[in-house]
Structure 1
Amino acid sequence: MATDCIPQLRFKFDKLVVVRRDVEHASADGGMVLLKAIDRQLGVTEAVASCLRDRRQPGKVEHNLVDLVRQRIFGLLGGYPDGNDAARLADDAIYKLLLDRDPLTGPALASQPTLSRFENAVGPRALTRLGHALADLVIGQHCARLGGRARRITIDLDPTDDPTHGQQEFAFFNGHYDSWCYLPLLGFVTFNDETEQHLILALLRPGTSAAKLGALGRLRRLVQKLRAAFPGARLRVRLDGGFAGDDVLRFLEAEGVEYVVALGKNRRLEKRVRRLMGKARMLSRASGETEHLFGETRYAARRWKAPRRVIMKAEVVRHADRAPKSNPRFVVTNLPHTPEHVYAIYRQRGDVENRIKELKAGVALDRLSCSRFLGNQFRLLLSAAAYILVQALRLHAAGTSWARAQVTTLRERLLKVAVWVTQSVRRIVLHFPTSFPWQPAWWQIACAVGARP
């Protein structure tokens, strides 16, 4: 057979090495079938598509809404976050399979212009439905997993900055982050004493939004949904200092929700912690190490209608070749535990920052490059849907070293697997390499998500 037309490269090693592009129907993303199996169980992509309305002329539609949603979500999971990546994946056999198309002869995937029109055609009502649907899906998934029983459910809300680099609607300069940005609000839930914080809320906000903008309404919704699904669970909320408004605290108290909320420093609080700080300085001076002490007080901010219990942490931080630094901290709470225990509960919310970093690095949460604000809110929710699938994959990987792996690690070692695709009348066969180094773990997880030997 003539090979003149086959692209090839040569490496002059000890023996000539020739590289040829001559294997048809192959892909670098064979492991993505794991996420396809999870999506069939949870119905994430179908839930997203069901919230949208297709206003295109039916006779001219080549790619339906479910296909477009799957192309974007699986693209994010495979490491292709932009619509511009569509051309690279148009004829990829695995991505055709992910969209339930014939991997060998099926039509090509949607183009970048089609995806751009799709993202920018979503209206506010559809986005509201989608936010509800993703929350219901996460709650339903864990209600089924736990049999509707949980001792405690913890809600964490946190804002993050998504820098912008164009003329996107409502992208403003935020002095705190020193950049033009959006300021999304993200919400996570943790069940019992588990370590995984499950994404349940993603709300896009203008770059100069107050930290608590939209928080009270979303808390009302989450408390209602969680109470309906887990009637016997104690609910607990942990929030950063920007959320410590009287309206938020009164709502939590009226609903019987436990809370631990940070408070910003001010003269009144610093005066109350002064004696405790003095003791911490003496201890630090004697030990030469960082020291901290805990105490409590009753305190009412000017806009609060009643005083509340405030935990004080008096900390003196020491680093080599630096002067000691005083670091007083405050949290308001309705928990009855000791001050040290309450602060330990609050400190656990710090892992939310790791989840946010993972969202940005793994599923492009910060890739908000549409010119329209609503288009970027849709992108945010697509990233959230993709992350829900990843978190479900980690649950299925329980008992393996991948149960706590980051998205980028899972992608590199379990999803990026070279595969050759063939098919007969009755089945499609994925040919994996025999030397795949993570094959035992991949095989175990595949069985956990529904595959059978």
Structure 2
Amino acid sequence: MPNCTADSMNFGRLGRRVIEANFQGGAISSDGGLVLLRQIDRRIGLSKAIAQVLHDPRDPDRIIHSLRDLIAQRLYGLCCGYEDLNDHDRLRHDPLLQTAVGKVEPLASSPTFSRLENRASRADILALNQVLVEQFIASHHKAPAELILDIDASDVPLHGDQELAEFHGYYDHYCYLPLYVFCGQAMLSCVLRPSRIDGAKQAAAVIKLLLSRLRQAWPETKFIVRGDSGFCRQLLIRWCERHDVGYVIGVARNARLQKAVADWEAELEADFAKTHSKQRMIREFRYAAKSWNRERRLVTRLEFGSQGRNPRFVVTNLDLPPESLYDELYCLRGEAENRIKETQLDLFGTRASCHAFLANWLRLLLAALAYTLMQRLRSIALVGTELANAQAATIRVKLLKIGASVIRNSRRIRILLASHHPERETFLTASRALAP
């Protein structure tokens, strides 16, 4: 006879009442917001687009879980906070996840996902990057007048025997060095690279490919490339100049640059000595490093305070006033760093625990696509709500992690959400925005 009290838990008393708990609640899910993910996915066609470009070598007569269903299950799991494939060994029986994916029977288990990851090819990787671009283009109802592409790199720590794992002196650990391109909050590309390389390697090629597709869609749009001093490379700068692309890119300080601004810094130092308050100015001048083919416009932001000098330099081919170019254009590139952190921390974009390099790249791209799903949920369904500017982790906690009871019969699937959920009105607003 089965032991029905094996998972019973006792939490003391409340007055005369005994507090007991067990895991026998039945068809209850902790992810009531999955229905919102299902609706936004259907609206933008993300999982369908991914399934159409990935190769599938399986025998069609023996397939139980379609590629579209696998992708949807994996993306929804990431959005709801399930980073490990092993989580799906239990989640596959979650009635609400089944409903969101579009099935009423058990979903895929971790071995199925493992096989999906380990058969990734370079063609698959290229195709998924193209999906990111096509999703961005489809999100615009008309051609934008101007777009700013932010390019940046980050690290993905490694803790095992991964292919191409190398030690990086700056980050002080074994890691990969992915390259990201964002436009506003939208991710356009995620390129995984070994870490023992120049951080700007492949940047010009990635920008070239992106702008080729974007200009095909929007031939009249003006494009600007923005990056920190790690991307101040002649290959990228000259390509931008040849193809009528604006750029504003940081320049690392050196002795020649320090000499060029010495008089301005002396002026700031004298003013600081008089006022004892931090001094700041923005100036511009012409400059050419030995490796440059000609002089270019440099904008410098100079500061002098209690900790001494703090100069910054930017090279550009734009004709904006130096103050607005630095403060209103260049400094805003920090937003891309926030989006990288959101992808890596909130959507588990550092979970490179596979052995194969391409399998890890696929994992990063799935995290990027899950980020895209959350970003479109934010931009379409949460406009005007208190979560309109919330990060993915906040949206997950406040909107997706809702207790729900699922009642299924032959005619209807009823989802009974927690009656006292504090974000009830926000959830209702989002559901109305995503209504078929």
TM-score (normalised: structure 2): 0.95
Trace 1:408-419 onto structure 2 (pairs within 5 A): 408-419=393-404
Match of 2:156 among 162, 184, 188: 162
> Per-residue deviation at 1:109?
2.1
> Per-residue deviation at 1:273?
1.2
Residues 154, 236 of structure 1: 8 Å contact kept: yes
Match of 1:298 among 270, 286, 291: 286
Match for residue 165 of structure 2?
Answer: 171
Equivalent position SS for 2:98:
helix
Equivalent residue letter for 1:29: D
Match for residue 422 of structure 1?
Answer: 407
- Aligned-residue Cα RMSD (Å) equals 1.6
Number of aligned residues? 431
C-alpha distance in structure 2 between counterparts of 1:311 and 1:70, whole Å = 47
Trace 1:68-87 onto structure 2 (pairs within 5 A): 68-87=70-89
Match for residue 9 of structure 1?
Answer: 9
Moved over 4 A (4+): 2-6
Match for residue 321 of structure 1?
Answer: none
> Per-residue deviation at 1:22?
2.6
Match for residue 218 of structure 1?
Answer: 206
Trace 1:380-395 onto structure 2 (pairs within 5 A): 380-395=364-379
C-alpha distance in structure 2 between counterparts of 1:291 and 1:208, whole Å = 39
Match for residue 194 of structure 1?
Answer: none
Match for residue 103 of structure 2?
Answer: 101
> Per-residue deviation at 1:23?
2.0
Match for residue 127 of structure 1?
Answer: 125
Q: Larger deviation: 159-168 or 133-142?
A: 133-142
C-alpha distance in structure 2 between counterparts of 1:339 and 1:357, whole Å = 29
Identity %: 36
Q: Larger deviation: 218-227 or 54-63?
A: 54-63
Residues 140, 229 of structure 1: 8 Å contact kept: no
Match for residue 432 of structure 2?
Answer: 447
CA separation of 1:435 and 1:346: change in aligned 2, threshold 3 A: same
> Per-residue deviation at 1:400?
0.8
Match for residue 263 of structure 1?
Answer: 251
Trace 1:14-163 onto structure 2 (pairs within 5 A): 14=15, 15-102=17-104, 106=105, 108-142=106-140, 144=141, 148-163=142-157
C-alpha distance in structure 1 between counterparts of 2:36 and 2:362, whole Å = 25
Residues 28, 419 of structure 1: 8 Å contact kept: yes
> Per-residue deviation at 1:232?
2.9
Superposed CA offset, 1:56-99 (max 9, x none)? 23333222211221221111111001112122312111111122
Superposed CA offset, 1:328-374 (max 9, x none)? 11000011122221111100101111111111121001111110100
> Per-residue deviation at 1:200?
1.1
> Per-residue deviation at 1:6?
7.5
Residues 153, 234 of structure 1: 8 Å contact kept: yes
Q: Larger deviation: 17-26 or 262-271?
A: 17-26
Equivalent residue letter for 1:362: D
C-alpha distance in structure 2 between counterparts of 1:35 and 1:109, whole Å = 17
CA separation of 1:386 and 1:4: change in aligned 2, threshold 3 A: closer
Tell me if 1:234 matches 2:249: no
Trace 1:304-343 onto structure 2 (pairs within 5 A): 304-318=292-306, 324-343=307-326
Match for residue 231 of structure 2?
Answer: 243
Q: Which runs of 5+ in 2 are unaligned?
A: none
Match for residue 348 of structure 1?
Answer: 332
Equivalent position SS for 1:97:
helix
Equivalent residue letter for 1:289: S
> Per-residue deviation at 1:12?
1.7
C-alpha distance in structure 2 between counterparts of 1:42 and 1:6, whole Å = 45
Match of 1:185 among 179, 185, 188: 179
Equivalent position SS for 2:33:
helix
Equivalent residue letter for 1:447: R
TM-score (normalised: structure 1): 0.92
Q: Larger deviation: 394-403 or 275-284?
A: 275-284
Residues 248, 314 of structure 2: 8 Å contact kept: yes
Residues 132, 187 of structure 2: 8 Å contact kept: no
Tell me if 1:372 matches 2:353: no
Q: Which runs of 5+ in 1 are unaligned?
A: 191-196, 319-323
